[in-house]
């Protein structure tokens, strides 16, 4: 790349749930713009992160995991992911490489929904084999890399560890070389296209995922009802919607302990993010069957249309 060329473009981050797409996005930006939990299917919306340098501006688009689950909400998540792909200059597929050793059947199942779509892709395709730090025997990684190169001969394969930032720099240089030559689309100091109110709702939802067990967090949605920034303090009222009456008491917890812990952890993170004092109030409301209510999910921003 010559010194006079400035490259800028969009990179669609695709892959199965829990492959580490959001962790990779945060690692590239050096700070958190996408929530991360150990549970799959945490990301529900397309989240963009902007990485600017003197010679380039890379706009990463993190997407919900590609999966084969049913239900209207899962349909919306898939629509969001595939819609994001349509506007990208480079396709970045992120896979959990550790599954290849621990659960090879699960790995094959993960890549199946992506197989034909990526094989026929005409744009530059990168396959990031993530979590390679979990390979005790690095020699076992070679058959996996060979398998992916055979499966997707049109793709460049990179072994990486987003958690440890291993291998991310060479992959970034490859991404830059395949972006269009053009000026930047965003100011150099802008890190994300995500509105701060949306990020606040995501922080609350992340803490719900970390605090609540089993499937309950998947039936929760968060809406910011009030946002009042006085300059010295931000007053935030957030509503946690659950799909069943029985879930409300589970979210609140005995003597309100679950809700209190979620609120405390969310407030701490919001204060670090905003560099201001935050007064956060959480409410839990029942909206029966909201995960099958398309109009309500659109109000929550869970639709790409």
Cross-strand bridge partners of residue 224? 238
Q: Is 18 annotated as a binding residue?
A: yes
Q: Is 285 annotated as a binding residue?
A: no
Q: Is 19 annotated as a binding residue?
A: yes
Q: Is 21 annotated as a binding residue?
A: yes
Q: Is 159 annotated as a binding residue?
A: no
Region at 272 (left for phi over 0; alpha for psi -120 to 50; beta for the rest):
alpha
Q: Is 20 annotated as a binding residue?
A: yes
Q: Is 162 annotated as a binding residue?
A: no
Q: Is 4 annotated as a binding residue?
A: no
Cross-strand bridge partners of residue 285? 241
Q: Is 253 annotated as a binding residue?
A: no
Q: Is 153 annotated as a binding residue?
A: no
Measure the CA–CA gap between 45 and 197, rounded to whole angstroms.
14
Quick one: which of 219, 233, 226 has its CA closest to 197? 226
Q: Is 64 annotated as a binding residue?
A: yes
Q: Is 130 annotated as a binding residue?
A: yes
Q: Is 15 annotated as a binding residue?
A: yes
Is 35 within 8 Å of 49 (Cβ atoms)? Answer: no
* Residues annotated in a binding site: 15-22, 62-66, 130-133
* Residues annotated in a binding site for GTP: 15-22, 62-66, 130-133
């Amino acid at each position: 790349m010559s010194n006079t060329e400035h490259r800028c473009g969009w990179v669609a981050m695709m892959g199965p749930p829990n492959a580490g797409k959001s962790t990779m996005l945060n690692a590239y930006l050096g700070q958190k713009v996408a929530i991360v939990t150990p549970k799959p299917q945490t990301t529900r919306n397309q989240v963009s992160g902007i990485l600017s340098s003197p010679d380039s501006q890379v706009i990463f688009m993190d997407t919900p995991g590609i999966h084969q689950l049913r239900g209207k909400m899962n349909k919306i998540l898939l629509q969001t992911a595939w819609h994001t792909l349509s506007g990208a200059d480079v396709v970045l597929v992120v896979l959990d490489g550790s599954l290849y050793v621990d659960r090879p059947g699960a790995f094959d199942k993960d890549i199946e929904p992506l197989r034909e779509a990526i094989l026929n892709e005409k744009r530059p395709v990168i396959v990031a084999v993530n979590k390679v730090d979990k390979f005790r025997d690095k020699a076992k990684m070679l058959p996996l890399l060979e398998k992916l190169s055979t499966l997707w001969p049109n793709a460049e394969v990179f072994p990486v560890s987003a958690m440890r930032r291993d291998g991310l720099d060479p992959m970034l240089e490859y991404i830059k070389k395949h972006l269009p030559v053009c000026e930047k689309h965003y100011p150099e100091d802008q890190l994300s296209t995500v509105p701060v109110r949306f990020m606040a709702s995501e922080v609350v939802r992340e803490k719900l995922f970390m605090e609540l067990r089993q499937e309950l967090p998947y039936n929760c949605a968060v809406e910011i009802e009030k946002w009042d920034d006085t300059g010295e303090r931000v007053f935030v009222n957030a509503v946690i919607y659950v799909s069943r009456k029985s879930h409300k008491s589970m979210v609140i917890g005995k003597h309100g302990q679950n809700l209190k812990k979620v609120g405390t952890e969310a407030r701490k993170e919001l204060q670090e993010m905003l560099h201001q004092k935050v007064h956060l109030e959480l409410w839990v409301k029942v909206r029966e069957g909201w995960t099958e209510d398309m109009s309500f999910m659109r109000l929550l921003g869970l639709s790409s249309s």
